[in-house]
Amino acid sequence: MKLVAQKTFVAKPGTVDQKWFVVDATDNIVGRLAADIAVILMGKNRPTYTPHVDSGDFVVVLNAEKVVFTGKKWTNKEYTWYTGYTGLRKITAEKRFEKKPELILHEAVRRMLPKNKLGVKMLSKLKIYVGDSHPHQAQNPEPVELGKKVS
C-alpha cells in the first residue's frame, strides 16, 4: 500500500477573490452581529482561510442606529479610554449611541479582530452607515443575514 501525502492549500496575498456583503442591522443584538461580521472580515467562513493572509470579504452594514443591547447594557455598559492625562474618560453606551451610533458596532467588531497590522487592514473593509443607503452600489454587494440566534 502506497501512502499519498496530502497537500495543504496556503493562500498568497493578492490572490484572494474578495466579495462584498450588505447586512441590515435592524433589531440585531450587537455582540452576535459583531461576531458574525468579524468572521467574514477575517475570512474564517471560507475553506481557503489562511491566518497570515487577509482572505476576508468586505461588509457594508446599514441601519446601525437600530442595533440593540440585551439587559441593562444601555445604562450599565461603559466605554473607557485613556487621553494621556491622569485618569480615564468614561461614557455610557446610551450616550455614545446618541452621539455616534455607528461607533458602537465598530468598536465591538474591532475588539474581535486580531490586534496587529492585519487586523487594522481587516477593519478597513468594514463600512458602517446610519440609514439604509450606501455609496457602494457599484460593487454589487450580496445581501446576507447575520446576527440571528441559531436554535
Q: What is the CATH number of the domain that holds 131?
A: 3.90.1180.10
In a domain, 45, yes or no: yes
In a domain, 4, yes or no: no
Percent of the chain scoring above 90 in pLDDT? 85
> Quick one: average pLDDT of 55-76?
95
Q: Note the pTM of the prediction, 2 decimals.
A: 0.90
| Residue range(s) defining the domain that contains residue 28 | 20-69+101-143
In a domain, 89, yes or no: no
pLDDT over 70 at 116, yes or no: yes
In a domain, 139, yes or no: yes
71 or 4, greater pLDDT: 71
In a domain, 37, yes or no: yes
pLDDT over 80 at 1, yes or no: no
- Split into its structural domains, the chain has a count of 1
In a domain, 149, yes or no: no
> Quick one: average pLDDT of 128-132?
94
> Quick one: average pLDDT of 66-79?
94
How many C-beta neighbours within 10 Å does residue 125 have? 16
